[in-house]
Amino acid sequence: MLQKLNSHIDKNFSFLKERKLLIAISGGIDSVVLTHLLHQLKYNISLAHCNFQLRGQESDLDEVFIKNLSKELSIKAFTVQFKTEQYAKEHKLSTQLAARKLRYDWFYELGEKHNFDYILTAHHADDNLETFLINLTRGTGLDGLTGIPTVNNKIVRPLLTFSQEEIKNYAINNTISWREDASNAQTKYLRNKIRHEIIPSLKELNPSLLESFNKTSNFLKQSQQIVSDKTEEVFKEITNIEGDLIKINISKLVQLSNPKAYLYQLLKDYKFTEWNDVYHLIYAQSGKKVVTNSYTLLKDRDFLLLLRTDKKAPVMQESIIIHKENTRITNPINLLFENVHQQKNISSNSIYVDKNLLNYPLYLRRWKNGDYFYPSGMIGKKKISKYFKDEKLSVFDKKNIWLLCTNDDKIIWIVGKRQDKRFLPTNKTTKLLKMSI
């Protein structure tokens, strides 16, 4: 068994050899075995232990055990204590979800602070099967049926192909001690209920259950890869990316064999949960939208528009003053003001105005209902809202528009779009000012 584990690590995880590694260790048999194994193979490891203070003295004894293990193996150990139940109550989470968030946030914090390349967890094949069954009972897509990934960004799980029985035999044969968590025997948690009641029954039907599951999991992962490759191909065909905005072409989407399935694959990573509402947007009126804490999906004529709209993001300024002596502003957008002698390279990103016609200080502000301007190249005035409609600007586009105005609120420029002709230079202009993004 020792040779089997050693060769598995050397063959499949050689990329960890010269890396700085942080092992998430509870004191249970799995993480302790992983620690001994990598220490014996002379990997560069440190330990990270969370005391969630959920089991009274037992939690404290787990922490003592880890500290003693670190001294025994001469490995650096990081420990932290969390008021998990208080955190769960404050954030309206279950105790398990609160503990998970606290520990992974802390692991990543340690990784950043101490330059760890990877965070290692001791998940094994039984954990993988339990996760599969949990996701199956809750209802899930293909992602949930492929189980726990062996490598997920900076998280690596070297023991995932081994059963808990194999790991336990390794510990016994190598006289490795560990801590038992009595709460693992309680069936009030779904995972424990599946572990102690469902899986033993399944193993009675099929003694090679784990082996069969591993084969099925591999088949599902292969299928998932095919779906992922096809989704990427479709994404390129039916979407356009404009800065932070993703535009999904509805006419191209509905021509696909299963528009709902493709839409799910395109958007599943964007934290939507009300999928029926998302699907209904395909045929909804313009302006309908689905909103999460982080994203907004909007129906806008021929497109579905996806934009990050994090509610925690800082609110942008509604206006900013620009004085005559200012040559540049950098917030909320980057604008440059230059005194020049002639016009050249005129574009939507730069305009020329007669400086004598400007009433300072100038203002950069958001547009509002009732705003109008005199578009260059056109006769008469036009409402900003009508201009936006003619230009087919989306709701998101409009939110990103800034107006440059005089002190008496005459619009000089819809920045990056159209100039007001009232401030255009003439042959009699003596002071020419170039404004550019």
Tens digits of residue pLDDT in 85-132: 999 999 999 998 999 999 999 999 999 999 999 999 999 999 999 999
Residue 227 identity (one-letter amino acid): V
- Tens of pLDDT, residue by residue over 407-423, are 889 999 999 899 999 99
Q: Which helix (H) or strand (E) holds 201?
A: helix 199-205
Q: How far is CA 18 from the centre of its chain?
A: 28
3-state secondary structure of 400: coil
265-269 long-range contacts (CB < 8 A, ≥24 apart) are 265/227, 265/231, 265/234, 266/231, 266/234, 266/235, 266/239, 267/297, 267/306, 268/141, 268/143
How many residues comprise the chain? Answer: 437
Q: Of 6-20, 59-73, 175-189, 325-339, give the lowest mean pLDDT range.
A: 175-189
Alpha helices in 239-383 (DSSP H): 250-253, 259-267, 275-280
Residue the block writes with tokens 């000089």: 412
> Where, residue-wise, is CATH 3.40.50.620 in the chain?
2-218
User: For residue 24, which phi and psi values (nearest 5 degrees)?
Assistant: -80, 110
6 Rama class: left (phi>0) / alpha (psi -120 to 50) / beta: alpha
User: What is the rounded CA–CA span in Å between residue 223 and residue 187?
Assistant: 34
Give the containing element (helix H, strand E) for 305: strand 303-308
- Distance (Å, rounded) from C-alpha 201 to C-alpha 180? 24
**Residue 64 pLDDT > 90, yes or no?**
yes
Residue-wise pLDDT for 212-268, tens only, equals 998 998 899 899 889 989 998 999 999 988 777 889 999 999 999 999 999 999 998
- Locate CATH 3.50.40.10 in the chain: 319-436
CATH code for the domain defined by 319-436:
3.50.40.10
Most confident of 88-97, 176-185, 326-335: 88-97
Return left, alpha or beta for 154; rule: phi > 0 is left, psi -120 to 50 is alpha, else beta.
alpha
**Does CATH number 3.20.20.80 belong to domain 2-218?**
no
pLDDT score for 310? 65
What CA–CA distance (Å, rounded) separates 432 from 350? 13
CA 2 to chain centre: 39
3-class DSSP state of 404: strand
Query: At residue 377, does pLDDT exceed 80?
Result: yes
Mean pLDDT of 153-165: 92
Q: What is the mean pLDDT of the chain?
A: 89
Query: Is a pLDDT exceeding 60 seen at residue 313?
Result: no
Give the span between the Cα atoms of 300 and 396, in whole angstroms: 10
**Tokens 């954030």, residue?**
91
pLDDT at residue 186, as a whole number: 73
Dmax over CA atoms of the chain, in Å, equals 96
